A = this chain, B = another copy of it.
Amino acid sequence: MTPDAAPAPVSAVIIAVGSELLTPHKVDTNSLYLTEQLERVGLAVRRKLVTGDDAAEIGDALRQALRPGELIILTGGLGPTDDDRTRETVAEVLGLPLAEDTAIVADIRARFAARGLEMPDLNRRQALVPAGAGVLGNRRGTAPGLWMDHGGAIVVLLPGPPRELRPMFERHVFARLAERTGVSGIYRRVLRIAGRAESAVESVAYPVYSAWQTADPPIATTVLSSLGQIELHLSTRAPRPEDAERRLDAATSELAAVLGRDLFSSNGSALEVVVGDLLRRHGLQVAVAESCTGGLVTSRLTDVPGSSAYVRAGWVAYSNEAKIAALAVDAGLLEAHGAVSEEVAAAMAQGARSRAGADVGLGVTGIAGPGGGTVDKPVGTVWVALEGPGSARRARRLQLPGERERVKFQASQAALDMLRRTLLRLQADPG
Copy tally for this chain in the complex stands at 2
Complex Cα gap A116–B122 (Å): 68
* Cβ–Cβ contact B369 & A305, under 8 A: yes
* Cβ–Cβ contact A81 & B318, under 8 A: no
Nearest CB on B from A259, distance (A): 15
* Cβ–Cβ contact B19 & A222, under 8 A: yes
Identify A296's interface contact among B114, B295, B306, B311, CB under 8 A. Answer: B295
* Cβ–Cβ contact A202 & B47, under 8 A: no
Which residues of B are found within 8 Å of A221, using beta-carbon distances? 83
Given contacts A48-B50, A302-B316, contact A297 B295 (CB under 8 A): yes
Which residues of B are found within 8 Å of A295, using beta-carbon distances? 290, 295-299, 302, 314, 316
Specify the chain B residue showing the minimal Cβ separation from A325. B355
* Cβ–Cβ contact B222 & A20, under 8 A: yes
Q: How many residues of A are in contact with the other chain, CB < 8 A?
A: 106
One digit per residue, 1 when the CB lies within 8 angstroms of any chain B CB and 0 when it does not, for chain A 315-328 equals 11111011001100
Complex Cα gap A285–B123 (Å): 42
Which residues of B are found within 8 Å of A200, using beta-carbon distances? 120
Further 16 A-B residue pairs, CB within 8 A, beyond A305-B371, A325-B355: A22-B35, A22-B45, A25-B222, A47-B50, A53-B222, A81-B198, A82-B210, A120-B199, A122-B199, A140-B402, A293-B299, A294-B299, A295-B302, A299-B299, A302-B368, A302-B408
Which residues of B are found within 8 Å of A39, using beta-carbon distances? 24
Identify A318's interface contact among B79, B302, B318, B406, CB under 8 A. Answer: B302
Identify A317's interface contact among B163, B313, B318, B401, CB under 8 A. Answer: B313
Which residues of B are found within 8 Å of A404, using beta-carbon distances? 303, 305
One digit per residue, 1 when the CB lies within 8 angstroms of any chain B CB and 0 when it does not, for chain A 220-238 equals 1111110000000100000
* Chain B CB within 10 Å, residue with most, of A23, A115, A305: A23
Complex Cα gap A118–B115 (Å): 71
Q: Is the C-beta of A44 less than 8 angstroms from some C-beta in chain B?
A: yes
Given contacts A22-B35, A197-B117, A294-B299, contact A315 B314 (CB under 8 A): yes
Identify A316's interface contact among B49, B82, B306, B311, CB under 8 A. Answer: B311
* Cβ–Cβ contact B306 & A312, under 8 A: no
A91-122 interface (Cβ within 8 A of B): 114-117, 120, 122
The 7 listed contacts between A and B (C-beta, < 8 Å) are: A23-B233, A48-B50, A49-B49, A79-B198, A83-B221, A120-B203, A303-B405
Identify A115's interface contact among B25, B206, B401, B408, CB under 8 A. Answer: B401
A268-314 interface (Cβ within 8 A of B): 288, 290, 293-299, 301-303, 305-308, 311-314
